[in-house]
Structure 1
């Protein structure tokens, strides 16, 4: 397969690479091109791209002709996909404080926009419907009915006051979305099924028909799968006290649906026949595997299992094309994100090695692969730090690994190091590829290690379950064991180590200098949990004390009473901090409230411990904006240089 330059590359190139070494801003900027999707015909692409200094929703032909360009503004774009060849859907999110005044005070809500490629008309789903809130609670696919294109979404139906105003009904403890059919051209919405407090999603079939739905009975801890939209035919009933099964869309045929069952041995994906209720495990170790689906029907075609032979892809012709694409990019991580209905054209994203992220249009009949967009165009090959998996053993003998990133051009010898544990923590993992956060620190002269401690994803269910109850225990010692193993190998200097992380990683960073001691010269926590009891209480007020989410959180933490939680809460152990601390938190965080960092700052201040606290206006839990991502990097690198100089 030949690699060449395509005309559409010029359109989606964003900005040209600079000859100078990239500043931190080059890493902190959102990708120059992201969410690139190929239409079912294979003749068009849609993406979010930076043109000049503006982010735009771009639609173009694969030959490079611009069809539509719409200003994306400051929306936090989460995904882009096609509904047929004539409509592009873009999911965004925003932090709502009103009118959706919820139990927790604010929430991150999704919106979906539909762009007509033919007319350029852009509509926001539910925007023109006074009886609906503007938020979209799920997308259930699309269908052509009587020649018109429709999308299917979960939406909140508003109630009417005596004064004739439409408001959200907050009398219930639950937000209950209904299922709506939305005309993707006009925006007209029609309710086709009512939700209930127990509803957990629908599966749509051809012609906009509801083929199945799921419910979760909290009081009984039971998950149920029903055929159709009513409760006449129960197909499956599963106990689910902690980890709750999920509907995962259509199966391989029109009469099957998929269920992700995290309770089973191996996190199985189960295919259920909606006519007979027969079950078949089709992917025994599902984890977070992506599915491949027909671009027209949404039927399942297989799974991406990180095996270059694609053994879990069911169609031989698709499997052959995926394998050919992977062979075109040896030494790189390759992810096929979309393909045409004929499988002759595919869009692939590569990164890792010396690639900071490239989008490719693969043409199988022509035997060509054309780069059509770059995620980080200002970061050249020579600026990318080398990465590899580093394997080590925990003190209790458990085999572990993590991603090691080196400063560009450096040798693996006595380097200063940043330990960068991931968030989650259960079921999340780090793997080889371009990580903007790790690469930014590597560019500043630090080795970066991202440990996959017990409980992480990417392994079997036994490894994940080993993390339950170990938030403040062996997860932390797994991170420290990684530092010790790197030092024993002569790669890093253990006396020149700091720990940085976000979410659970922020908790681990703070615990590394309060619950643990003598390991790190500084700690940086981005949106970290600091007081476990207060955090669980906050979550409980929003989810309910009997919810599966709260049971899962308590199981993951493991501490059963107030005193046990206090012993592993950095905020309660602030007086024992043995290194300077930097706290960074988005004001709009709806996952870990900023009150967690505020309480930590207060506790450190009362104890006379050196610390800094940065509040990021307009930022959420995921560092979704250019300005705040860059500000976080600049502040954290400056803090690292003061307390753990790289030179």
Structure 2
């Protein structure tokens, strides 16, 4: 018989703030020529700023920093100029009064200019504001050509009926003048080509998604494909990027279970028979790596992030870097138009948060630039591995298991941590603060990729349609029982926890499997599917009418046809069956899962269950943006778990 594990020991564990405080360093990016590095830095209790380092001399210049807000995102416009936006890390969703805005500055800190407003100003009081773009102007996720003072930016829109839309503007970053790009339909997203010019748009009309291509030969838009956005089709695909020669690379299942990377045949409007890159057991996820107008490789994301190099020189460089940085995944990014010998390296593992380094291929010098969550030491973190177990109907379910750093592996208190979405991929072999925090406190953490999750193939995703509270819920319980059978978990000390959909699954788990779960933690979780459809006039939701009409009936359930199922899978309607200790936490400004989900549930549960705790962060939205609230919440979670499953019974 396995001996019972001792209660978790916290004395040597890193403080909660090490996991959940804002990091003073938040990443870096090379200039197109590779001579300069831009980094997001907020040292000495100052707001996050944007610094530029001349790599050959290591001279650093803080080129942008505000006293009342933080630098949020940035891009190199060209080798001499940066564009950036802001984010206020001291305010929650309720208290946000400003949009990100849009700014540019030279790499030496000169020629600073504001391009877009940070709020809606109907009456502009100064000439300086007269020519600024509206507050809903945003950077694209694509850098563009990076060879002039021009960029493309998004003019974002939103309607209650159809959700988000995105027009495109061609913007001169020196004088602030912008010209709209003409296009058919209502664009949802854009893809720039190898020259940084708009070449592809995605539109959504009710439930029909279309991909339109601007043919350079005719200068006319033509439709490549249209399909049901929620059901998909056998030959549907999503565009990834244009290659240096103008080829379109796309991701598609093409009749397979897992998606792969294809080079699309634009001439004949069809997918080729042969894929370029596939990932064993995973849908393709990644991006092209292009330098000197050559496709050098593909950044991939299977169990972890890595790189498939086509270029022999980059293969050799990867081997060299891996030898210098053993035990970590090392992601190399070369400059797009190199005029120097520097490359950027991101190094990480399941135990180590991201480190950013630069490597000189001529001098062989490897220098650390900064690291995220610098208080975290790899020796204090627990290992994370991907496992597979069979659900009760035979479906193979992936699951991430994180164990405590002290080497304990048997008969542990277990937290079943359920990801939100639910149509997302939950875990990865990476350092993730929530799982590692719990492991540092002595808990095993199981994160099932239950049916409905994406990233592991069409079969797993499709099997989750209309299975909220049913087979999706069974998958999670089967994962907990697998952990018991493998000896990892003490069957008497299991708690289920999660946010958003994970909060819904927490509530349904307590209802369906009361003998399995001894307690539950639900934050910002759905408590009733009908409330997602009809939340009431007082609590506004950001779910569009089209999503409710075309998406939810297919993926979750039809309010009329599936009325009885929605009742049977409603935690709110079965709240009297929740008898275990329950911790509830909600944001007062949440528009994805409005707080009435939590208030109604709390009122219903507490009438028969005195062991329910309520937390409201009035300024927060769908999750905790503020460090003080993250630290407070996880401190409460730690006490709640210690009380209910921390010691052997």
TM-score by length of 1: 0.82
Unpaired runs of at least 5, structure 1 = 1-18, 158-167
Q: Cα deviation per residue 1:42-63 (whole Å; 9 max; x = unaligned)?
A: 2222222330223322222335
Task: Give 1:419 shift.
Answer: 1.2
Query: Alignment length, in residue pairs?
Result: 608
| C-alpha distance in 1 between matches for 2:184 and 2:511 | 46
| C-alpha distance in 2 between matches for 1:309 and 1:320 | 18
Task: Give 1:64 shift.
Answer: 3.0
Task: Give 1:605 shift.
Answer: 3.0
- Contact kept, 8 Å, 2:239 with 2:250, in 1: the verdict is yes
SS in 2 for 1:572: helix
| C-alpha distance in 2 between matches for 1:550 and 1:142 | 35
2:116 paired residue number = 126
Q: Cα deviation per residue 1:399-447 (whole Å; 9 max; x = unaligned)?
A: 3332222222142122112111212222313122211111111222222
The two structures, once aligned, show a CA RMSD in angstroms of 3.9
SS in 1 for 2:638: helix
1:555 paired residue number = 554
Task: Give 1:263 shift.
Answer: 7.7
1:331 paired residue number = 327
1:218 paired residue number = 206
When residues 123 and 509 of structure 1 are mapped into structure 2, their CA distance, relative to the original with a 3 A threshold, is farther
1:84 paired residue number = 78
Alignment counterpart, residue 485 of structure 2, candidates 479, 485, 488: 488
| C-alpha distance in 2 between matches for 1:311 and 1:449 | 27
When residues 207 and 450 of structure 1 are mapped into structure 2, their CA distance, relative to the original with a 3 A threshold, is closer
1:35 paired residue number = 27
Task: Give 1:596 shift.
Answer: 1.9
SS in 1 for 2:570: coil
- Contact kept, 8 Å, 1:129 with 1:188, in 2: the verdict is no
SS in 2 for 1:553: helix
SS in 2 for 1:493: strand
2:64 paired residue number = 70
When residues 546 and 171 of structure 1 are mapped into structure 2, their CA distance, relative to the original with a 3 A threshold, is closer
Question: How do 1:156-175 residues align onto structure 2 when only pairs under 5 Å count?
Answer: 156=156
Note if 1:469 corresponds to 2:469. Answer: no
SS in 2 for 1:439: helix
- Contact kept, 8 Å, 1:180 with 1:193, in 2: the verdict is no
Task: Give 1:274 shift.
Answer: 5.0
SS in 1 for 2:572: coil
- Contact kept, 8 Å, 1:141 with 1:152, in 2: the verdict is no
When residues 246 and 585 of structure 1 are mapped into structure 2, their CA distance, relative to the original with a 3 A threshold, is farther
| C-alpha distance in 2 between matches for 1:74 and 1:394 | 51
Unpaired runs of at least 5, structure 2 = 1-10, 118-128
| C-alpha distance in 1 between matches for 2:500 and 2:353 | 25
Task: Give 1:344 shift.
Answer: 4.6
Question: How do 1:238-387 residues align onto structure 2 when only pairs under 5 Å count?
Answer: 238-243=226-231, 248=239, 250-261=241-252, 265=256, 266-272=258-264, 274=266, 277=269, 279-280=271-272, 281-283=275-277, 287=283, 289-294=285-290, 301-306=297-302, 312-336=308-332, 339=335, 341-342=337-338, 344-387=341-384
SS in 1 for 2:135: strand
1:399 paired residue number = 396
1:457 paired residue number = 454
1:161 paired residue number = none
| C-alpha distance in 2 between matches for 1:483 and 1:249 | 37
- Contact kept, 8 Å, 2:298 with 2:308, in 1: the verdict is yes
Alignment counterpart, residue 411 of structure 1, candidates 408, 412, 436: 408
Task: Give 1:121 shift.
Answer: 4.8
- Contact kept, 8 Å, 2:402 with 2:439, in 1: the verdict is yes
Task: Give 1:41 shift.
Answer: 2.1
Stretch of structure 1 that moved more, 68-77 or 44-53: 68-77
Q: Cα deviation per residue 1:444-500 (whole Å; 9 max; x = unaligned)?
A: 222222222223334232222222232212222222222222222222212111112
When residues 558 and 344 of structure 1 are mapped into structure 2, their CA distance, relative to the original with a 3 A threshold, is farther
Task: Give 1:211 shift.
Answer: 2.6
1:645 paired residue number = 646
Alignment counterpart, residue 170 of structure 2, candidates 181, 188, 204: 181
| C-alpha distance in 2 between matches for 1:171 and 1:590 | 13
| C-alpha distance in 2 between matches for 1:473 and 1:359 | 43
SS in 1 for 2:505: helix
Q: Cα deviation per residue 1:389-408 (whole Å; 9 max; x = unaligned)?
A: 34433222233332222222
1:573 paired residue number = 574
Stretch of structure 1 that moved more, 407-416 or 262-271: 262-271
- Contact kept, 8 Å, 1:37 with 1:347, in 2: the verdict is yes
- Contact kept, 8 Å, 1:261 with 1:267, in 2: the verdict is yes
- Contact kept, 8 Å, 1:294 with 1:300, in 2: the verdict is yes
